[in-house]
């Protein structure tokens, strides 16, 4: 007699394989769900493995295009950066995966969903808030927060033992002394030897980007065309090749960014649950897009709209980091940001070289830049005398303040 | 019979030399004031030139140390970046110069101050708001906003003519097809051929940073030590050399940043007066410091304090950009930011290479990072079950919202 | 030979009558434009007066309905309050008047617009920014900033003299020792004896609201129904009368609010130009609506959306106060706020009595209030144990902070 | 063998009496702690009751003065209002009580603290975050979240039964059909019949304020003097009586406010845990102070400082509402707000009448109000022509925007 059906977010790795078997042991029917969001994985091998471990059904879904269009693109529009540095590669992937998992759960009549995220991290939150938001009645089994599970599996050794006993293939290559999470947008590295915030990341850690010391000695020059604040075309200027579907554009930017070692960061960040953690990220395509979007946005967006939108973008980044992609406030903020992008259109030229992105120039039919108005050589529709009044009125308050402070010493 | 005494912000160049003579022509006594804020200038030659042109007095003041300590350091504490990109190199220099100029004006009993800033730019505002704030009764002569002046000098040719007629030395080297402003913190380039936002900046424009294509093939590794959010020591790890006075630290970071081509940006920005303008900046030392400070700050500052302080930093950057360094609100924001830096202390290790700054590790006696708490391997003082309640309570609102929306389709 | 045609915002009073004649004297053709935005005025008498004074044409437009729908309603949606107290009655009227004036100017081929606002106030700015935004080529004549005008008319005596000389009817009733501005939304009083911020406003100053000491001793009870964040019906519960067009609703709320002395404030505010000024306002209907809207909004809007929207509302109030109704940022903010109001729907019951508005109850088909969930008597879909985890996770950061601060004394 | 010592926040009522006995039953030694924060209570009777029920020790502490000075005063400085309406009377009391309770627990070597707050409310969070922040190792027993407790006591009947069995005095007066929480600052009412958000509060509910329909027909006129943003003296102008200690001032404002029915609100608010709840509050003295402080603050504080401080005040209110009084961010915000109050000094005259507070006038030695500058009758140090430039520069951006939008129709 089954306790019910669980849709498990299955990765094909040791942890979720053990969870799959453990859930069956607990009396659940298990549907394995494996999302292809661009990670390097042998999906068919994973399917066979899940089937062999007793999954009732296995769903493998290629979410790459919707990941780019529905999740990465809004992050690009927002210039979404968490705590001034992190481009949210993992955070934007979770609601994408969760949304599909919930769809499967609803479709298959499963009352439970499960995942292999740990009890100290952000991903459990991102995953579960997505599930609760889209499927409020769902029940969630998070084994790494279930005492019977986590007390049984205190370390990798215990998982290995369990795997051997239950016919779960055991990885033959030694595990890296850190954990990683990969998708189309980025790879993140944390834990293990990286937990010491002082120790440097090993040079061979990075999988998505070349070491800039070994990257090409010649830049690639790209032209990225935007419409509504998202890229619609990327052209390699020297090679005259271009891409124009969202997935192709993003993949190509990853390729170029990766080739030139763009987008590596080593940071300490604040998790939603209140701990500081150290993470290393490489986000090649996302880093190029952030720079390009910042450029075309400032070129085409009114200054004061930009200021308000900047605040909304920071809010958006916090919401996404904390797992609130599917929330009334994130819907609202995304709507507002999207509205702000109506005129964010045009082309940015940039070069990519040795870990850096250099903006070179930009053009747009919607630009608010007025070459004549700003020119030092011609007057344009501008009377310099107006600036006198402008400054003097702005000074009214400052002069009052100073006078009333008394003639305090000039230096303070 | 003199109309009064003017303290003129004198640069030694053609424009302010003409202004000096023109002011005399208008009947003023002129005191030339030349601030050394780290620009490359032959100050003694400039003194002689001003004297020769008829300046009643000439003051040359070395403001480099106070520029670093009183102006750059608060910007470092604030992570001050305007519109996500510009590090405010010119904006922080203006109040430093203005403060000294006003001191001289007060000391010398001058009722007037004057400057050579144009009528379309930000600098006129930064300069004049500083003067009004610190010397409310002062009268300001801004020749480029005085019709008799700007109608007479419509182009460089007119200035050259005037110079020749009045014994003002005429520059022998041809003028670059752009204008620049240099100080210890940065060099900015704008106008002329740069006014076309699409055209690329010429490779030979940059004076402060090496072209990354020609910079060394080996990184420099630095350790920067902070206290109260400002650097107190920088050490070149390989070379075992270090600097520990503010001016030496900043100069050394400029040297290393410049050598590796760090801190070049090409942007379109929004001027206070509402125009968009294109500027190219190189800020080598400032760029290294921004990255290092962001790192040590997040390492030592509480997450929620950081969030509030991030907002204050954005406000600070806007105020400084717009010329309000000396204002009640900027005083207030600086005070708050400074308060937030009490525990921003520790060392950041980083490498500088090919235009990029890579954070490698950090340590601090005041860190809020708790390696045991965050570890994946040990539990620390943390019960994973708590996360279940945390997530479920965060979901209360989301589930309510979804239910009340009706069972709308999952994808939207 | 005419210098061109001016559309003058004409009030029918002494000032703008003098301006009309003075503009003609200066060589302009003058079109008088008088907007009916609900002020108490004999419009036909004003028309005749303007014609008699030589206006080429006179346009009197009843803008009351569009004032309510296009200007007051967005302010209601925003809970627009400037500096925590002022409901912006004058500020929302200016762009309404300016928009019509510009339409007339364009239609009549007039290159100039003019108004009687003073040189120290906010209204000149609100008026002119509206004109520049909607008719960028327009030229503005602001006599109170034209030296020939303001030096000639230094006080009311000079205007009276001029009026007598030019056949302008001179007011027979003595002028109140303050100035006022009235429209459908409010009356403001300032200047004259009110300039001393300590002196109390005279009891007979108020025209729109009863003195609460003399207002009825029985409350009126209203039910206001909202849809999309704006009122669609108001019912007097005891009298069973109701209104349902925007103009009728607002007028009725003014009537009831006025009868009970609602909406009087005496404040010092910060003008855009940096002065503090003292103003007295009475906003009867607007005050009732603010309270009712706050109530229905919190009842139906998600908590976190509300927080973001609150910030946008404060921004909106600043923009409107400063005259930026017609600006890209105000368009953007209005759009976002309007979006937030989609579910702000339902009925609020309130009583109005002796200057106060008391919310009594509310109901809504879109409410996010869940009586079962919040009940102290039934559990609803809520597990109290979850709160333990929620609190403990929220405490992670606080406990870390405290520990690292050392065991500092508990009291600080 | 005792499980340890618990310090219980004891109210003297049925719930915490049952909890006291239940904790003993569970094997704990219980110290009863009863804070006097101004509620109407027979403290000595409560002491005897606790002792009789078996409390090992009973501490009754008069926290009224520190409640006013350390908690209410910072809220006054902040103009702290949650969601535009709630003055946080309960929220500011919790950390005051929790601080003392933790001090006792530390002093008495108790490892546990306990309270009678429910599992759906805000108070559990406010209480517990205070305890964790100030005593990180503490263990908290929240019976209403302990299944053995809340399953046993499903309703008041169960508590009454338990009381009778254990010699706990049972209340003889019937319970009001709502719950209330009272302290010096306010009384809140919720639950029971108030859970229906549409039903009106009964007229006899209010204990702290008179019904305005029955309040005096003559106003009281007060003058409140502030220094550093807090009241230092209140004078009844007609009666010429005054108070000048914090507790006396606040108590007197309660008396006057209560007499005139000031400070009643009926709202739906958003709890931290994501539910909407309906609450009725009466905050007589706090409401008077809020109005008076807003007035003197705007009179003495720079406009732009005010804007930044307004944002900090909203943040402060959220933090306090959510229970984060003792947190790094609330410390930081309080510090910044306190800094902003340095010049908030002067006297406000106001009248209190029929539920309303009317500001009448204000004066201050630190005012930034300049009567001459703002006067309509004299020019002061102000040139109206400057406003032309100010407006025209502010219009640069608007005109550009309009032109580039094309000549779209004027009305939109």
Q: Identify the active-site residue in C65, C70, C158, C179.
A: C179
pLDDT confidence of residue D406: 67
Say whether pLDDT at C377 is over 90. Answer: no
D168 CA to chain C: closest CA distance, Å?
A: 22
Q: Which residues from D are below 8 Å from A392, CB to CB?
A: 383, 386, 389-390
Nearest Cβ partner for C124 among D199, D375, D391: D391
pLDDT confidence of residue B408: 42
Contact D393 A392 (CB under 8 A): no
Q: Which residues from A are below 8 Å from C393, CB to CB?
A: 273-274
Place of tokens 């437009």: C61
Q: How confident is the model at residue D376 (pLDDT cuts 50, 70, 90)?
A: confident
pLDDT confidence of residue A16: 97
Minimal CA–CA distance to B272: which of B409, B26, B90?
Answer: B90
Contact C354 D358 (CB under 8 A): no
Q: Report A:12-71 residues touching B (Cβ under 8 A).
A: none
Contact C119 D219 (CB under 8 A): no
pLDDT along chain B (412 residues), means of 10: 95 96 98 97 96 98 98 98 98 98 98 97 98 97 97 92 94 87 97 96 96 97 98 97 98 98 98 97 98 98 98 98 98 98 98 98 95 86 94 95 66 41
Touching D: which chains, 3+ CB pairs < 8 A?
A, B, C
A350-361 residue pLDDT tens: 999 999 999 999
When scoring A298, A306, A393 by the number of chain B Cβ atoms within 10 A, the one with the most, hence best to mutate, is A298
Continuous segment of H or E residues that includes residue C242? strand C241-243
Place of tokens 């089994």: A141
Reported ipTM: 0.96
B149: left (phi over 0), alpha (psi -120 to 50) or beta: alpha
Q: Which residues from A are below 8 Å from C324, CB to CB?
A: 304
CA-based nearest residue in chain C for residue A341 = C332
Q: Which residues from B are below 8 Å from A96, CB to CB?
A: none
Say whether pLDDT at D352 is over 70. Answer: yes
D195-223 residue pLDDT tens: 999 999 999 999 999 999 999 999 999 99
pLDDT confidence of residue C113: 98
Contact A392 D404 (CB under 8 A): no
Q: Which residues from C are below 8 Å from A332, CB to CB?
A: 305, 308-309, 336, 339-340
Nearest Cβ partner for C393 among B304, B387, B404: B387
Say whether pLDDT at D122 is over 60. Answer: yes
Q: Is residue C404 less than 8 Å (CB to CB) from chain A?
A: no
Contact D302 B329 (CB under 8 A): yes
Q: Is residue D304 less than 8 Å (CB to CB) from chain A?
A: yes
When scoring C308, C320, C325, C398 by the number of chain A Cβ atoms within 10 A, the one with the most, hence best to mutate, is C308
For chain A, the C-alpha Rg in angstroms (whole number) is 25
Residue B346 and residue B362 in contact, taking contact as beta carbons nearer than 8 Å: yes
Minimal CA–CA distance to A383: which of B144, B193, B196?
Answer: B144
| Mean pLDDT on C276-287 | 98
Say whether pLDDT at D312 is over 50. Answer: yes
B268-288 residue pLDDT tens: 999 999 999 999 999 999 999
Contact D192 C376 (CB under 8 A): yes
DSSP B409: -
Q: In what order do the strands lie in the sheet with A230-236?
A: A241-243, A230-236, A220-227, A346-353, A356-363
Contact D303 C274 (CB under 8 A): yes
pLDDT confidence of residue A404: 82
Residues in chain A: 412
DSSP C192: G
Q: Is residue A373 less than 8 Å (CB to CB) from chain C?
A: no
Q: Is residue B276 less than 8 Å (CB to CB) from chain C?
A: no
| pTM, two decimal places | 0.97
CA-based nearest residue in chain B for residue D314 = B308
* Nearby residues of B102 by Cβ (< 8 Å), 6 or more positions away: A410, B113, B130, B131, B134, B135, B138
Contact A390 D392 (CB under 8 A): yes
Q: Report D:111-150 residues touching C (Cβ under 8 A).
A: 118-120, 124-125, 128-129, 132-136, 142, 144-145, 147, 150
Q: How do A112-114 and B241-243 pair as beta strands?
A: unpaired
Q: Which residues from C are below 8 Å from B391, CB to CB?
A: 389
* Nearby residues of B395 by Cβ (< 8 Å), 6 or more positions away: A128, A129, A132, A133, A136, D274
Q: How do D230-236 and D241-243 pair as beta strands?
A: antiparallel
Q: Is A271 a catalytic residue?
A: no
pLDDT confidence of residue C172: 79
When scoring C329, C344, C386, C393 by the number of chain A Cβ atoms within 10 A, the one with the most, hence best to mutate, is C329
D110 CA to chain C: closest CA distance, Å?
A: 15
Say whether pLDDT at D408 is over 70. Answer: no
Nearest Cβ partner for C308 among A332, A393, A395: A332
Label each residue of chain D as H, E or C: CCCEEEEEECCCCHHHHHHHHHHHHCCEEEEEEEEECCCCCCHHHHHHHHHHHCCCEEEEEECHHHHHHHHHHHHHHHCCCECCCECCHHHHHHHHHHHHHHHHHHHCCCCEEECCCCCCCCHHHHHHHHHHHHCCCCEEECHHHCHHHHHHCCCHHHHHHHHHHCCCCCCCCCCCCCEEEECCCCEEEECHHHHCCCCCCCCCCCCCCCCHHHCCCCCEEEEEEEECCEEEEEEECCCCEEECCHHHHHHHHHHHHHHCCCCEEEEEEECCCCCEEEEEEECHHHHHHHHHHHHHHHHHCCHHHHHHHHHHHHHHHHHHHHCCCCCHHHHHHHHHHHHHCCCCCEEEEEEEECCEEEEEEEECCCCCCCHHHHCCCCCCCCCHHHHHHHHHHHHHHHHHHHHHCCCCCCCC
Residue A131 and residue A138 in contact, taking contact as beta carbons nearer than 8 Å: yes
Say whether B343 sits in a helix, a strand or coil: coil
Contact A274 C400 (CB under 8 A): yes
Contact A389 D394 (CB under 8 A): no
D29 CA to chain C: closest CA distance, Å?
A: 23
pLDDT confidence of residue C77: 98
B297 CA to chain C: closest CA distance, Å?
A: 15
Give the C-alpha separation, A71 to A166, whole Å: 38
Q: Identify the active-site residue in A15, A29, A181, A295.
A: A15
What are the φ and ψ backbone dihedral angles of B351, each rounded to 5 degrees? -115, 150
Q: Which residues from D are below 8 Å from A383, CB to CB?
A: 392
Q: Judge residue D193's burial from the number of C-beta atoms within 10 Å of its C-beta, 0-12 exposed, 13-18 middle, 19 or more buried.
A: middle
Provide long-range contacts, Cβ within 8 A and 24+ apart, for A168-172. Answer: A168/A14, A168/A17, A168/A18, A168/A21, A168/A53, A169/A17, A169/A49, A170/A14, A171/A13, A171/A14
* pLDDT-flagged residues of chain A (< 70): 406-412
Contact A196 B314 (CB under 8 A): no
CA-based nearest residue in chain A for residue C391 = A273
Nearest Cβ partner for B386 among C303, C392, C401: C392
Residue D243 and residue D227 in contact, taking contact as beta carbons nearer than 8 Å: no
Q: Is residue B196 less than 8 Å (CB to CB) from chain D?
A: no
Give the C-alpha separation, D289 to D291, whole Å: 5
Handedness of CA A344, A346, A349, A354 (dihedral sign): positive
Average pLDDT score over chain D: 95
CA-based nearest residue in chain D for residue A402 = D368
Contact D397 B274 (CB under 8 A): yes
**Count of C-beta atoms within a 10 Å radius of residue C56:** 17
DSSP letter string over B25-75?
A: HTTEEEEEEEEESS----HHHHHHHHHHTT-SEEEEEE-HHHIIIIIIHHH
| Mean pLDDT on D101-123 | 97
Give the C-alpha separation, D248 to C390, whole Å: 39
Contact C383 B401 (CB under 8 A): no
């Amino acid at each position: 007699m089954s306790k019910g059906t669980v849709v498990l977010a299955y990765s094909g790795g040791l942890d979720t394989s053990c969870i799959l078997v453990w859930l069956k042991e607990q009396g659940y029917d298990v549907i394995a769900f494996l999302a292809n969001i661009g990670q390097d994985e042998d999906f068919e091998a994973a399917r066979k493995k899940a089937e062999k471990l007793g999954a009732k059904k296995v769903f493998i879904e290629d979410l790459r295009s919707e990941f780019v269009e529905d999740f990465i693109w809004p992050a690009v529009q927002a210039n979404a950066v968490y705590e001034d540095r992190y481009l949210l590669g993992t955070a934007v992937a979770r609601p994408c995966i969760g949304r599909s998992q919930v769809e499967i759960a609803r479709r298959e009549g499963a009352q439970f969903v499960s995942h292999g995220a740990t009890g100290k991290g952000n991903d459990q939150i991102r995953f579960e808030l997505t599930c609760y938001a889209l499927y409020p009645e769902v029940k969630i089994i998070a084994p790494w927060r279930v005492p019977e599970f986590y007390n049984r599996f205190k370390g990798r050794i215990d998982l290995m033992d369990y795997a051997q006993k239950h016919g779960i293939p055991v990885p033959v290559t030694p595990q890296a002394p850190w954990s990683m999470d990969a998708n189309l947008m980025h790879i993140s590295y944390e834990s293990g030897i990286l937990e010491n915030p002082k120790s440097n990341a090993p040079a061979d850690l990075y999988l998505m980007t070349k070491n800039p010391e070994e990257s090409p000695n010649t830049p690639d020059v790209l032209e990225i065309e935007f419409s509504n604040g998202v890229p619609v075309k990327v052209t390699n200027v020297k090679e005259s090749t271009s891409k124009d579907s969202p997935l192709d554009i993003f993949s190509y930017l990853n390729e170029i960014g990766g080739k030139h070692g763009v987008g590596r960061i080593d940071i300490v960040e604040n998790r939603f649950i209140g701990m500081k953690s150290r993470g290393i990220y490489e986000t090649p395509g996302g880093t190029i897009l952030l720079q390009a979007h910042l450029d075309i946005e400032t070129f085409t967006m009114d200054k004061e709209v930009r200021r308000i939108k900047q605040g909304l973008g920071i809010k958006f980044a916090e919401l996404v980091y904390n797992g609130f992609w599917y929330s009334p406030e994130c819907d609202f903020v995304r709507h507002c940001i999207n509205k702000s992008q109506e005129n964010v259109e045009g082309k940015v030229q940039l070069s990519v070289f040795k870990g850096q992105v250099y903006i070179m120039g930009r053009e747009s039919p919607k630009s608010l830049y007025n070459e004549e108005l700003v020119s030092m050589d011609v007057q344009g529709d501008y009377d310099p005398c107006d600036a006198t009044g402008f400054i003097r009125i702005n000074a009214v308050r400052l002069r009052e303040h100073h006078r009333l402070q008394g003639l305090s010493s000039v230096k303070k």
